[in-house]
Amino acid sequence: MSPLLLLIVIPLVAVAFIIAGSNPRKTALGAAALNVLGFLLIAGKYRLAEGGFQFVSSVPVIPSLGICFTLGADGLSIALLGLSVVVTLAAILVARTPQKLPGAFYASLLLISAGGIGAFASVDAFFFYMFHELALVPTFLLIGIWGSGDRQAAAWKITIYLALGSFVLLLGLIGLYLSLPLGARTFDMREIAALAEIGAFVPHDAVFLLLFIGFGVLVSLFPFHTWAPHAYASAPAPAAMLHAGVLKKFGLYGILRLMTPVFPEHFADRWSVLLLILVAGNILYVGFVTISQKKLDLMLGNSSVMHMGYAFLGIVAWNDLGVTGAAFTLVAHGLTIAALFALCGELRERTGTLDFAELGGLAKSMPAFGLLFGFAAMAAVGLPGFAGFAAELMVFFGAFSAGDPSLGWTTYQTLTVMAVWGVVISAVYMLRAYRKIFLGSQPSRWGGLLDLGPVPRVAVTALIALLLIFGLWPPLLLSLFSSSLILP
């Protein structure tokens, strides 16, 4: 049996213990810490020189349909599994135990974590899809029961959008399955990629559209992005950390893992112009929407949507540098947005407001908070030294060198120049937020605010430390991606 199964089972067992009456916070924290330890042991046994999928185990579930419970991990999966367990631990560390249904609160967080881990560890597309669905119900509950603001509307909105996106994705997966040769139908993503490589099947364009729209909705691709900002703004901080930092990567991971091997010509040529237009919508349109926000939570929600555009740009560039940059972006963005939402939640707990007009001068009473927020904000902007800088640099260089050089200046170069302005947009809204929250005169009512406590301080510091480690030494991640992102 694959050791990856433990990473899925541990949070599920913890949920069972919580239901049975054990202390919710201690149980969840113990499970999250145990999963980090388990991941480190698994990652230490991953043979980098060998590459490919390792720790593979497969149990037939419906052999007649080619459905097997198959687990395995290559370099890309290892990176995202690490992201999942680290953000889970950080989210539970910063979580404040609610008075209402504390057991259900922590159980929901663990179920989201188990769903994300299961999806990234699954080699079978059927279970890849089902694990993601496992995480949707607890997301709805976390926002609807323990959220803030107009939480009921936000909970229903995210549920309706993601349910419709999941349904479209399911139709695409069925269409892809039916496109396979009759005697070779399978949900194993390795076998699907191998069959596509030898030209054993050619799926219809409708299958591409179904898969792309399904994954696009789940990852908040423009114009299907409107569910994300309000959902994250209303969600409790740990839920926003897990969904924006981990679960949201499901869509882009699915595109990299399932779509790019099967539809190379769609990304490289046939649909590239349309995809570039959608990328422009994510980076520029959503970027300007982000600048217009007057509350920190909505600004961060829109910022998360905007930064997904960089990952899409790397994929559409369709070269090794761009696609590797897209994968790097998944990890960098996951750590950054988790740190920012953790700090956003702490600020809401202390002040009861996230409106920029009501804040100011908080660095005087919360210097550690201001320092960590500054680091996280600079990571989001893409300051050199952070992982986001390395990711965006690879995306920009990959996109600028894409296309046919004999044609001269192409759409790729035009959009890359436009996308670089996204960095300026990010700097504008992040620096403005920092100035309005921490600088200037401090309203008298904020004079007695307590600084960030030791537990959330450790959690956020760990996330920022990883951003610095990967930013100062990118080969730590690039070595994982090199063997798993080879383009057709």
For the chain, give the percent of residues with pLDDT over 70: 97
Nearest to 187 by CA among 128, 264, 253: 128
- In whole angstroms, what is the distance from residue 369 CA to residue 94 CA? 13
- In whole angstroms, what is the distance from residue 460 CA to residue 377 CA? 12
Do 292 and 428 lie in one domain? The reply is yes
**Mean pLDDT, the chain, as a whole number?**
88
pLDDT at 328 over 70: yes
Is residue 236 within 8 Å of 142, Cβ to Cβ? yes
Asked if the structure places residue 185 within a domain, the reply is no
pLDDT at 445 over 90: no
> Domains in the chain: how many in total?
2
pLDDT at 93 over 90: yes
Structure token pair of residue 351: 């002040």
pLDDT at 413 over 90: no
- The mean pLDDT of 389-416, rounded to a whole number, is 80
Do 247 and 289 lie in one domain? The reply is no
Asked if the structure places residue 200 within a domain, the reply is no
Do 418 and 299 lie in one domain? The reply is yes
Tokens 């939640």 belong to residue: 345
pLDDT-derived band at 174 (thresholds 50, 70, 90) equals very high
Three-state DSSP class for 232?
helix
Three-state DSSP class for 48?
coil
Nearest to 248 by CA among 123, 150, 341: 341
Nearest to 91 by CA among 379, 375, 340, 453: 340
For the chain, give the percent of residues with pLDDT over 90: 40
Asked if the structure places residue 458 within a domain, the reply is yes
SS (H, E, C) 11-42: HHHHHHHHHHCCCHHHHHHHHHHHHHHHHHHH
Longest C-alpha distance within the chain, in Å? 74
Return the pLDDT at 116: 92
Range of the domain at 274: 265-488
- The mean pLDDT of 433-459, rounded to a whole number, is 85
What's the predicted TM-score (pTM) here? Answer: 0.91
Return the pLDDT at 439: 86
Do 249 and 327 lie in one domain? The reply is no
Nearest to 94 by CA among 346, 337, 303: 346
Do 77 and 139 lie in one domain? The reply is yes
pLDDT-derived band at 271 (thresholds 50, 70, 90) equals confident
Is residue 325 within 8 Å of 392, Cβ to Cβ? yes
Do 241 and 317 lie in one domain? The reply is no
Do 17 and 128 lie in one domain? The reply is yes
pLDDT-derived band at 455 (thresholds 50, 70, 90) equals very high
- The mean pLDDT of 404-419, rounded to a whole number, is 75
* 46 vs 202, more confident: 46
Asked if the structure places residue 217 within a domain, the reply is no
Structure letter (DSSP) for residue 446: G
Do 288 and 411 lie in one domain? The reply is yes
pLDDT at 404 over 70: no
pLDDT at 417 over 90: no
Do 240 and 330 lie in one domain? The reply is no
Asked if the structure places residue 134 within a domain, the reply is yes
Write down which residue in 236, 255, 274 finishes a domain.
Answer: 255
Do 468 and 392 lie in one domain? The reply is yes
Q: Which of 76-90, 197-211, 247-261 has the largest mean confidence? A: 76-90
* 448 vs 146, more confident: 146
Residue 60: half-sphere exposure toward Cβ, Cα within 13 Å: 6
DSSP H helical ranges for 122-150? 125-146
Beta bridge partners of 68: 60
Return the pLDDT at 486: 54
Asked if the structure places residue 62 within a domain, the reply is yes
Rounded to 5 degrees, φ, ψ at 59 are -125, 115
Do 370 and 423 lie in one domain? The reply is yes
Write down which residue in 255, 274, 305 finishes a domain.
Answer: 255
Do 136 and 279 lie in one domain? The reply is no
pLDDT at 83 over 80: yes
Asked if the structure places residue 111 within a domain, the reply is yes
Asked if the structure places residue 173 within a domain, the reply is no
- In whole angstroms, what is the distance from residue 216 CA to residue 202 CA? 22
* Distances from the Cα of 297 to the Cα of 53, 73, 149, 231, 279, angstroms: 38, 34, 11, 10, 23
Return the pLDDT at 481: 84
Write down which residue in 218, 236, 255 finishes a domain.
Answer: 255
